[in-house]
Structures are given as C-alpha cells and as structure tokens.
A and B are shown apart, each in its own frame.
Chain A
Amino acid sequence: MSGFYTLFYKEILRFWRVAFQTVAAPVLTALLYLMIFSHALSRHVDVFPGVGYTAFLIPGLVMMSMLQNAFANTSSSLIQSKITGNIVFLLLPPLSHLEFFTAYVLAAVVRGLVVGVGVFAVTLWFDLPALSHPLWALAFAVLGCAVLATLGLIAGIWADKFDQLAAFQNFLIMPLTFLSGVFYSIHTLPPFWRGLSHANPVFYMIDGFRYGFFGQSDAPPLLSLAVVSGGLLVLMALALRLLRAGYKLRH
C-alpha cells in the first residue's frame, strides 16, 4: 500500500512542480476558446432549448480540458521516464502491476480535476451555468479522466519515442475530443455525422457531464454512463495485461 501511495504522491508532485505548464496553461487555453467561440458563435449556434451558447460551451470546455490533461499526465510521465531511463527506479522495487496502474491513473485523474476546477474558476466571469445534478457531473468527470488516463498509460507504455506519442495524441485524442460535441450539440448535425458522433466514446463523456449541468442531453445519461464505464473496464483490462506481461517495460 505504501508503494502505491509513494508513487501516487510522486506523480502528483511531478505535475505540481511544473503547474504553470500543467495546470495554468490549459486553463488559459480553455479561457481563450471560451472568449473567442462565445463571441463568434453565440448568435449562430443552436444548442439545448433554454440554454445560452456560452453556458453550453463552458461544461464542454471544462470536460475537454480535464480529458486532455488526464491523458497528458500518464503518457508524458511514462514516456519521459522511459526515454531518460529513470523508469528503472520503478521497475526494481516490489511494486505490483496493480499498484503501478492505480497510482499513475489516480494521479492523472487528480490533474484532470485540478485543471477542470481551474477552468471552472475562470469562467465564473461568464455565464456560468448552475449544476442541476452535481453527482452526475462528478461521476462523468472522474470516469472520463480515468478513461483518458488509462489510454495515456497505454500510449506511454507503447510509444518508444516522443513523436509516436505525439502521433497518438494528434491523430486520435485530438480528433476524438474536438468532434465530440464540445463546441456544438450533435442534434444540429446532419444524420451521417450525428450517427458517427455516437460512435465516439468522448461524446458520451461530454454529453453526460453536460447533463449534470442542464438536466438535458443528446443521449440518455444512463447510456452515456454505461458507455464510459464499459470503456474504462475494457481499457483497464488491457492496461493491466500489458503491465503484468511487462510489455515494453521488462524485456
């Protein structure tokens, strides 16, 4: 247990030491998105009935920032440790694969939530929506971060070089998050794109999180919860298998 706790604490400290880059920067990025999109699109985009565009956009941006940072935390920590070689200090001690997994993923969830709170805090000046179902919002925040953190762990274990990781991030994570309904409600999309959005797991995270704010959503919240939880279980099983087998970590 103490091995898990130490690794968890180390991972928290690692991003906190560079919080300007790991927390402040994504908060600023989200703020810029909010200012620009709410100014440019508020009169053109039709979202939920009775919900203004800026209010609609805020939970989407909060969730997108959380997800991207949860992914970034596990993946960048692992690839740095692998490339610099200091991962050896984690492979020599008697840490189990479960301890290793839980510590990395929980620390990334914490980073995601810290960034989420930060984005939330700077949007206080805007048209901040009231939370109608805070527990739903929290559940989607935690589960969504855990999914992306696990994906980041897998990507970090798989990638041998920074550019492989960047490819994973730019060609998979970015399109999935941008095309998930952060900036629009998918019910305004043509049927083909609407159908395709339903195949995007990130859509269910954003949509479910938004349900926690407005009590309305594009997909039924229970379906979203099932998709996100199911996705987490599948990725967890894969990540634990890779760790147990020592894939790319123990030769």
Chain B
Amino acid sequence: MTIALDIQAVSKRFGALTALDQVSLSVEAGEFFALLGPNGAGKTTLISCMAGLSRPDSGHIRVMGHDVQHDYRAARRALGVVPQELVFDPFFTVRESLVFQSGYFGLKHNDNWIDEILHKLGLTSKANANMRALSGGMKRRVMVAQALVHRPPVIVLDEPTAGVDVELRQSLWVFIQELNRAGHTIVLTTHYLEEAETLCNRIAMLKAGRVIALEDKATLLGQGSARRDIMLRLDPPGLPPALEPLLLRREGSKVWLRLADIDQLGGVLAQVQAAGARVRDFEVVELDLEQVFVARMQGKEA
C-alpha cells in the first residue's frame, strides 16, 4: 500500500504554546481519514505543516513520498487543501480564480476539468460572477474547487462544512466520496462528528497537540468487540441483586447494564425471569463517535 501522508514526530511551538507535540501518523492512499479534536487541539496547525504554510520545528512530513520542505514542488502538486478561513480574491470571477489557480500549478489547458468541478459543485451558473457577489456557501464551494484544480491525489479539507447549509453539505460529501472512490485520499477535519462517523474509515483524535487516539472507526466504536451495553425496562422495576455488578446507571424503571460479552445476555434475561420480573423494553446501546470523542477527551474509555 502506498503511504499518501506520512507524518513523523512533528512538533511546532508558537512562543510558549506547544501547538503540536511529537505528532506521528500515516494515512494510506485511498483512505478517508478524519482528524478530530476540540478547538486549539492543533488540527489546523498540522494541516498548515502539511501544506508548507507553517514549518515544523522538528519532524518530517511526506505527501505521496515527497518531503514537504525539501521536495516542496512535488509535495504541493500532490496536495489539495481547502483552508478553514473563508477567503477569496475580490478582483476576479469564479472562473478566473480557477484558471489562475490552475496556472499556479503549471496547468495551462485545464478548462474541461474546471467545467467539470464547476458542474459537480453547482457553480456553473456562477462561473462568470465576481467572487464578491457570492454568498458564503458559494464562496466555500469555490474554495473546494480551487483545491481540486490540479487533481491532487491527496485532498485535505479543514472544516469544509462549517457554517454551510444542509444542501451544500450533502452535495459536497457526495462529490468528495466520488473522488475517494476514484482513488483520492481524503483527510478531513470537522466539528460534525456524525459526518466523520458516516464518511471516514480511520480516525485520529488530537488533544493539546498530541495524538490521543488513532484507530479504525470500527475499533474506536467497539464494533469489533463482543462487549455491549444494554437497556432494560423491567416490571416490577427492581433489579435482581445478582445483576447489580453489571449496572451502569438507572433512570426510573430503566436500567443500563454493561455485558463484557454479548453471550451473557441469555443468562441475564434468565435471572430477570427467575426473580419474577418481566422485560417491558429492551435496547442494545450503539456507541456513537460523539460518546467516544467526549470520553477520550476526558481521558476515559467510552
């Protein structure tokens, strides 16, 4: 497997603040990778280091095998970045912005691809509009288009859906998934954890400049393990004393139990019946990314 993004022991300080502390991770070609963390965790700094906008104090970053400092031309050609801040050049139209961006990457006859990304991002009708005349969401689409003009194998989106309406979020993800299926590696930061949960295969969590989790989504969500949390509503509500050690919490007539293995379920139900209670409601609690995220940020297992 080709390594699309290889980050080795990258540290970056801004004065007294350690923005990145020995961050190492690698993303394989074709992955859909999420970089999560609270504000100030270092996500944007890490992206800036990948893109050459910031220079790490130590460590190395390679994009498709090219060092972002020593071989910056090849590394930048391999990378398309959608910055988090909404920025645009007010002097030009949408199409001009894209033609210029192509030119900076050394591409001259790029009109067919530009037409295609305009179409995919729903910008065709705005192609000749001045950037100033566009709404925030439209400007965001142009930024995505600008990151894609040179067909980069690795695409990094820094909170691309922040402050963007539902329709654009949907259409943007459809397009990005299409690019991922076509072989592009996608790295994404987002505040919408459900987006990361539905889209990504692998997730890194950053906290205060350190990687605190780096796992497959399935592993992170415990999907591979047999451990399950279940909810029972019993009538009468009392829990048989033998089951007390499994109790997570209680809310009215509902109890939540943690089973180390789903195989225990039969035994649990048998004990409930033996105690003369009836099960009125039952649910297997699915772990979602938000719970995992909150727990990991607090330094606990979910």
Within 8 A of B (CB), among A89-103: 89-96
Residue pair A84, B76 in contact (C-beta under 8 Å): no
Residue pair B53, A86 in contact (C-beta under 8 Å): no
- Of A2, A89, A92, A251, the contact of B107 (CB 8 Å cutoff): A2
Interface-located stretch among A6-14, A140-148, A172-180: A6-14
Interface of A: prevailing SS: helix
Residue pair A3, B104 in contact (C-beta under 8 Å): yes
Residue pair A93, B83 in contact (C-beta under 8 Å): no
Residue pair B55, A92 in contact (C-beta under 8 Å): no
Interface residues on B, range: 35 or more
Residue pair B53, A88 in contact (C-beta under 8 Å): yes
Residue pair B52, A17 in contact (C-beta under 8 Å): no
Indicate with 1 or 0, residue by residue over A125-147, a CB within 8 angstroms of chain B CB atoms: 00000000000000000000000
Interface-located stretch among B84-92, B119-127, B176-184: B84-92
Please name all residues of chain B whose beta carbon is closer than 8 Å to the beta carbon of A5 when the two chains form the complex: 103
Please name all residues of chain B whose beta carbon is closer than 8 Å to the beta carbon of A91 when the two chains form the complex: 51-53
**A246 on the interface (CB 8 Å rule)?**
yes
Within 8 A of A (CB), among B49-95: 51-55, 72-74, 76-77, 79, 81, 83, 85, 87-92
Closest B residue to A77 by beta carbon equals B91
Residue pair A93, B76 in contact (C-beta under 8 Å): yes
Closest B residue to A18 by beta carbon equals B91
**A190 on the interface (CB 8 Å rule)?**
no
Residue pair B55, A3 in contact (C-beta under 8 Å): no
Interface residues on A, range: 20 to 34
Please name all residues of chain A whose beta carbon is closer than 8 Å to the beta carbon of B53 when the two chains form the complex: 88, 91-92, 250-251
Residue pair A86, B100 in contact (C-beta under 8 Å): no
A residues lining the B interface (CB < 8 Å): 1-3, 5-7, 9-10, 13-14, 17-18, 81, 84-86, 88-96, 246, 250-251
Kindly list 19 other residue pairs between chains A and B, CB separation below 8 angstroms, not including A5-B103, A92-B76, A93-B150: A1-B106, A3-B103, A7-B104, A10-B103, A13-B91, A13-B92, A13-B96, A14-B91, A85-B83, A86-B89, A89-B87, A91-B51, A91-B53, A92-B52, A92-B81, A94-B74, A94-B76, A95-B104, A251-B53
B residues lining the A interface (CB < 8 Å): 14, 48, 51-55, 72-74, 76-77, 79, 81, 83, 85, 87-92, 96-97, 100-108, 146-147, 150
15 pairs of residues in contact across A and B, judged by CB atoms under 8 Å:
A2-B103, A2-B108, A3-B103, A5-B103, A6-B104, A10-B103, A13-B96, A84-B90, A88-B83, A88-B87, A89-B101, A90-B104, A92-B76, A246-B55, A250-B53
